Copies of this chain bind each other. A is one copy, B any other.
Amino acid sequence: MLAKSSTELVRQQNSALVLSALRRYGRMAHTEISDATGLASATISAITAELERARIIEKSEQQAATGRGRPRVLFSQRRGCGYLITVIISSDSIQYSLVDYAGTLLDRFTEPRGEGSTATFIASISAALERAVSRSRIDPGSVLLVSVSSKGLAHPSEPVLIWSPVFGSQPVDFTKALHEGWSARVILNNETLLVASALIEREARKPAGGEPVLAALSLGHSIGLGIGRRGSAGTPEILAPNFGHMLHIPNGGLCRCGAKGCVEAYAGFYAILRTAFEVPMDTIPAKFVPLAEIDKIATRARQGNRMAQLAFRQAGVALGNGLSRLLSLHGHMPVFITGPGTRHQDLLQSGIEEGLAQTQVVRLGGMPELTIVPDEPSLVFEGHLNLAFSIVDQDIILSRPHLQAAGE
């Protein structure tokens, strides 16, 4: 059934629009907001007045002197309105970042990721979150959202890790990472989903409009994939399919997940290692392969070593076949490749292209555009901010059913 609409919803939608414009362009004047959103000047007055009363945005101090005329008043998010903590979990460490409502980074620290059960893992995160707020003397109650990312499979709605490289199918529930006094919501997303989110936003900022749909492929110890799409309603739609553990070859090489023949079991770092050293394909793969090890194999491959070359070629074909299946099931789209594996793109490229070439979608639609974007960490952080702030802004607007005209 469709949803009903009302005049109040109109205001909500348009308030969200104003906040999102402020996110995208940062610090805007009345008229700029009007131009960017398409709303009438009078409407901007009403909305900004309301948001200002609610102490969500504020008139910024420094106003650019823009020649003659009445000086423009710039609006921006009120920093103290709330805070956001991003938690980026990687295989060997965890990075914490504290960000204020205006999007500026206040604090950042990285901790090694300890061994142990999921309970001790959650406890260490919990402690780090406490540390983050106390170091910056912030009231835990003013943390609006904790945004967590990890490799692996996240529950579609709850912040629960359903499968991860480290804990396997043992679920990890991040709601438990918050002590009392924390009213924040917790969200969990796959790391490559955030990359896709960042890329789709970058594309959206391009003047020409940019690609409205794309895939992000992350190459590393594990293989991640995110799909981003700019929906008709304007809200980007982002998902992280289980690409790395999609079936590549029936009854193929043993994968870390326990299944056989996953893409990752051919294209992940451990798979490259396994093939290069001619270890049997049913061997339980290494928990963690140092990047230097892969670099060594790559060097050998570039020097002409056959098994090393085969290892990368096999990885490339697995990725190419997988991408061809992606295009078959999600339609044609450009692919952005990121992650540490991109350093060896020269060794993977031909395999990827070969793996893609055979299928009907590629024969009809042509080879998809492949773009290398090496700096994955910035993409991940950018994705965190995009997604987190869109949720925070939405929450703030919804939680304030009537920002009444409460006089001074």
Contacts and interface: CB of A to CB of B under 8 A. Distances in A.
Given A242-B329, A246-B329, A250-B317, 8 more contacts: A1-B20, A1-B21, A1-B36, A5-B13, A241-B328, A241-B331, A257-B360, A258-B363
A326 B330 CA distance: 10
A21 B259 CA distance: 47
Nearest to A256: B360
27 contacts: A1-B21, A1-B204, A2-B235, A3-B17, A4-B17, A5-B13, A9-B10, A153-B364, A156-B331, A163-B364, A169-B363, A242-B328, A242-B361, A243-B328, A243-B329, A245-B361, A246-B329, A247-B321, A247-B359, A250-B317, A250-B355, A255-B360, A257-B360, A258-B363, A259-B358, A259-B360, A329-B329
A261 interface: yes
A139 to B, nearest CB: 31
Instruction: State the oligomeric state as a number of copies.
Output: 2
A258 B358 CA distance: 10
Contacts of A21: 1
Contacts of A9: 5, 10
Contacts of A151: none
Interface residues of A, number: 62
Contacts of A259: 358-360, 363
Interface string A215-244: 000000000000000000111000101110
Contact of A246 (B169, B234, B241, B359): B359
A6 interface: yes
Contacts of A169: 363-364
Given A241-B330, A361-B242, A234 B325 contact: no
A111 B326 CA distance: 38
Contact of A163 (B251, B355, B360): B360
Interface in A1-46: 1-7, 9-10, 13-14, 16-17, 20-21, 24, 36-39
A138 to B, nearest CB: 30
Contact of A325 (B17, B239, B246, B364): B246
A172 interface: no
A356 to B, nearest CB: 10
A262 interface: yes
Contacts of A4: 13-14, 17, 37-39
Contact of A330 (B261, B262, B329): B329
Interface of A: 1-7, 9-10, 13-14, 16-17, 20-21, 24, 36-39, 153, 156, 162-163, 169, 204, 233-235, 239, 241-243, 245-247, 250-251, 255, 257-262, 317, 321, 324-331, 355, 358-361, 363-364
Most buried by B among A10, A156, A329: A329
Contacts of A364: 153, 162-163, 169
Nearest to A162: B364
Across the A-B interface, give the 9 residue pairs with the lowest CB-CB distance, nearest first: A246-B328, A245-B360, A2-B234, A5-B13, A241-B329, A5-B10, A242-B328, A3-B234, A2-B17
